[in-house]
């Protein structure tokens, strides 16, 4: 894997994550809940308390100091699960219909600020950005609902948001320096 970092432009950004699952909206936030909202009635249709579930199911006592706030929400490619990037640095797969966690993996030691899903041959790659000053390249297998870390890329500044450009095979990272960095990768 070849990696190049190039300074491109200056930018200030504010990022908020909400996933539209018509006729529903899926939201997550600082209360550690993932909530499905019905647009027609503006009411909650399903609620998952991620914080409570992680404490009970995975005995993650460190999450008390680094809570699993929801910072990123993605569809998995089969549309059967959501992927959530959490404030405790974990990535979890959540069943779309029941909002039950089916796979949970700690990836970063600090808050995951963004995550994107990229097709890589016959599998999928989740690219994550974290306050531990790294990008994670995570192999996601939707059929087995498995999450495995493949590689880690160190970055210099705290990231705000990431984007992948398939044409240029590059990850773009907006960080706290108000710059966007281009990191070329070969998939």
State the CATH number of the domain containing residue 81: 2.130.10.10
Q: What is the pTM of this model?
A: 0.83
pLDDT value at residue 15:
30
Count other Cβ atoms within 10 Å, centred on residue 117.
Answer: 18
The answer to whether the beta carbons of residues 108 and 115 sit under 8 Å apart is no
Burial class (CB in 10 A: 0-12, 13-18, 19+), 173: buried
What is d(CA 70, CA 85) in angstroms, rounded to the nearest whole number? 6
Residues 6+ apart with CB under 8 A from 44: 35, 36, 37, 38
Cis omega (within 30 of 0) for bond into 23: yes
Residue 111 has pLDDT above 80, yes or no: yes
Specify the number of domains making up the chain: 1
Residue 174: which of 162, 165, 164, 166 has the closest Cα?
A: 162
Residue 132 has pLDDT above 70, yes or no: yes
Average pLDDT over residues 61-83: 82
Residue 136 has pLDDT above 80, yes or no: yes
Range of the domain at 53: 4-184
Assign residue 99 a region (left: φ > 0; alpha: ψ between -120 and 50; beta: otherwise). left
Helix (H, G, I), strand (E, B) or coil at 181: strand
Among 36-50, 51-65, 89-103, 156-170, where is mean pLDDT lowest?
A: 51-65
What is d(CA 131, CA 138) in angstroms, rounded to the nearest whole number? 17
pLDDT value at residue 21:
67
- The rounded Cα 72 to chain-centroid distance in angstroms is 4
pLDDT value at residue 31:
86
Residues 6+ apart with CB under 8 A from 144: none
Average pLDDT over residues 162-167: 91
What is d(CA 46, CA 88) in angstroms, rounded to the nearest whole number? 23
* Per-residue model confidence as pLDDT tens digits over 77-109: 888 999 999 998 999 999 999 999 999 999 998
């Amino acid at each position: 894997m070849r990696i190049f970092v190039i300074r491109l432009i200056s930018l200030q950004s504010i990022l908020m994550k909400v996933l539209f699952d018509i006729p529903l909206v899926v939201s997550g936030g600082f209360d550690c809940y993932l909530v499905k909202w019905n647009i027609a009635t503006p009411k909650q249709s399903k609620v998952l308390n991620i914080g409570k579930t992680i404490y009970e199911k995975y005995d993650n006592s460190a999450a008390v100091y680094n809570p699993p706030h929801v910072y990123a929400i993605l569809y998995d490619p089969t549309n059967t699960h959501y992927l959530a990037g959490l404030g405790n640095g974990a990535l979890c797969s959540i069943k779309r219909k029941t909002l039950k966690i089916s796979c949970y993996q700690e990836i970063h030691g600090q808050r995951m600020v963004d995550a994107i899903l990229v097709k890589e041959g016959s599998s999928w790659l989740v690219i994550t950005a974290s306050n531990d000053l790294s990008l994670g390249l995570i192999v996601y297998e939707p059929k087995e609902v498995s999450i495995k870390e493949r590689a880690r890329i160190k970055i210099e500044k705290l990231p705000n948001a990431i984007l992948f450009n398939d044409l240029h095979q590059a990850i773009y990272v907006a960080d706290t320096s108000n710059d966007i960095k281009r990191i070329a990768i070969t998939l």
